[in-house]
Structure 1
Amino acid sequence: MTQSRFDDGDEDDVPEWADRVMADVAREVRRRRKEMRWSAQDLADRCEAIGFPIPRNVIANMESGRRAVLPLVEVMVLAKALYTHPIHLIYPVGYVEEVQKLPLTYPVDSAKAMRWFADLDQTFAAGPANHSMLHHHLTHGEALAEALAAMKGEARQREVADQAADDSERAQALRAQADFAERGARAKYELRGVRRDIYAEGGFLPDLPTTLADVDPDEGYERDTV
């Protein structure tokens, strides 16, 4: 199969985009399998242990290019089985110099394509199809981790202060405890704000541990009616 033209020029005998993507994935699966000194059966056994069997002959046919399709769910399971992430199978940076991001486009550096795929450059952040919800949830995760760490640090310094051998050590522990308390308060403030934004935009609110139950207001958040 060939593509008859590019979006910015004509070119003959260009490998079909879907075939090239599948070939890159298959090549990387085989490379990682060989690197781990596994047989195709070993990899098949790993997939079955994960809960999604991919038979040995299917893996062999994929690696040899005899298979016509490669479902996304299999890419996900193969990545887990090979102790990597799906994006590293699709864009094997360092092992494939160039890839086609989309049909009818010229190949680009594989690292650049990976960044596009993962939106690491936030290409769409300000566009009409913006991904504010993704940003909100990432921010939520960071603020939650900061709040929990601050609470743990505050508790630890409180214990140090209670067991201090002298006034100087106790004062130092109390200052550290106050710093952790301030960090926790800032993190809770950020959590409250991002949870308000998530709810207002129609998203689901991630669960909070009981130790942070006071982050949500008693009356709840309001939906955005715009």
Structure 2
Amino acid sequence: MTQRRFDDEDEDDFPEWVDRIKQNVAGEVRRRRKEMRWSAQRLADRCEELGHPIPRNVIANLESGRRANLPLVDVMILAAALYTSPICLIFPVGYVEETQELPFHELIPTWEAMRKFTAEEPSHDALDSGLIPDFNRHASLVRTVEAALRETERAEFAAKTATTPTQREEAERRKDDYAKRADEAKWSLLGLREDIREEGATPPELPPALTDIDVPDTDTDDEDNI
């Protein structure tokens, strides 16, 4: 059946998207279960161990396409039981070539649909991605700072153990370069964390080695009263 667009009034196509998403989940649950050489009962037992029982017959009905609905909580617990993430069940990248982002949408690569779902790629329908881009950038900056600090330490060690003036000079140059990169990334990280707080949100927790990035608040009231 050909998928129609938003301006079509025939609502018979709507279940096609629902069925496609359920088929994605069902197929990936079945694939991962067999890959792990688990029976449906073993998977059901694991779901119960995690605190949200899903009976064996329910799992069997899901995999065969007979299950009428698919609660989000079931997707979450099935993913945990199969040692994967819910997004990998909904959008099985590499195992399903194309899927739909929303009802009445054209088929697009599953990888693209997954990136739109996680706000890694802008969607023309999503005007607000929340703070996901900021948190992604935060994680990238943390990695940059940590990597630059590691290279700074290595260059410093190389300078101390250098056997010739040329080697020492080169190591000192690299140390200064990486230290500068670390400082620049730290300033960017500090600014980003302040922007997140201005949005009324809490920025991610910093690794122990980077806790000095946050500047503690100063009590200006006491200064004003002096």
Give the TM bin, normalised by the shorter chain: 0.7 to 0.9
SS in 1 for 2:131: helix
SS of aligned partner of 1:9: coil
Give the letter for the 1:7 counterpart: F
Q: TM-score, normalization: structure 1?
A: 0.77
How far apart are the structure 2 equivalents of 1:97 and 1:160? 49
AA partner of residue 63 (structure 1):
E
Task: Please tell me whether residue 81 in structure 1 is matched to residue 77 in structure 2.
Answer: no
How far residue 107 of structure 1 moved from its aligned partner, in angstroms, is: 4.7
| Alignment deviations for residues 85-126 of structure 1 (CA, whole Å, 9 cap, x no partner) | 3223223345445544334x155135243343233431269x
1:19-168 equivalences in 2 (<5 Å): 19-96=19-96, 98-103=98-103, 105-111=104-110, 112-123=112-123, 129-131=127-129, 133-168=131-166
Secondary structure at the aligned position of 1:141 is classed as helix
Distance across 1 between alignment mates of 2:80 and 2:58: 17
Shift of 1:187: 0.8
Taking structure 2 as the reference length, the TM-score comes to 0.77
Tell whether 2:7 aligns with 1:8. yes
Range with greater deviation from structure 2 (17-26 or 67-76): 17-26
SS at structure 1 position matched to 2:215? coil
| Equivalent of residue 192 in structure 1, options 190, 193, 197 | 190
Question: Percent of aligned positions with the same letter in both sequences?
Answer: 47
Q: One-letter code of the match for 1:168?
A: T
CA-to-aligned-CA distance 1:10-65 (integer Å, 9 cap, x gap): 55854724344223311221133223332112323443454544332321122233
Kept in 2: contact 1:92–1:110 (CA 8 A): no
The question of whether the paired residues in 1 share the 8 Å contact of 2:119 and 2:133 is answered with no
For residues 100 and 211 of structure 1, the distance between their equivalents in structure 2, rounded to whole angstroms, comes to 43
Instruction: Quote the offset at 1:141 in angstroms.
Output: 1.0
Report which stretch shifted further, 188-197 or 49-58: 49-58
- Please report the RMSD computed on the Cα atoms of aligned residues, expressed in angstroms: 2.9
Paired with 1:116 and 1:210, the residues of 2 have a C-alpha distance of: 32
- The answer to whether residue 170 in structure 2 is matched with residue 178 in structure 1 is no
In 2, the alpha carbon distance for the partners of 1:174 and 1:51 equals: 56
Given the alignment, which residue of 212, 215, 218 partners 2:213? Answer: 215
Shift of 1:181: 0.4
Instruction: Map Cα deviations across residues 164-185 of structure 1 (whole Å, 9 max, x no partner).
Output: 3333322222122111101111
The 10-residue stretch of structure 1 (190-199 or 16-25) with the greater mean CA deviation from structure 2: 16-25
- Identify the structure with the greater strand proportion: 1
Distance 2:210 2:115 in 1: 35
Say which is worse superposed, 211-220 or 72-81, in terms of deviation. 211-220
AA aligned to 2:185 is A
CA distance in 1, matches of 2:130, 2:67: 38
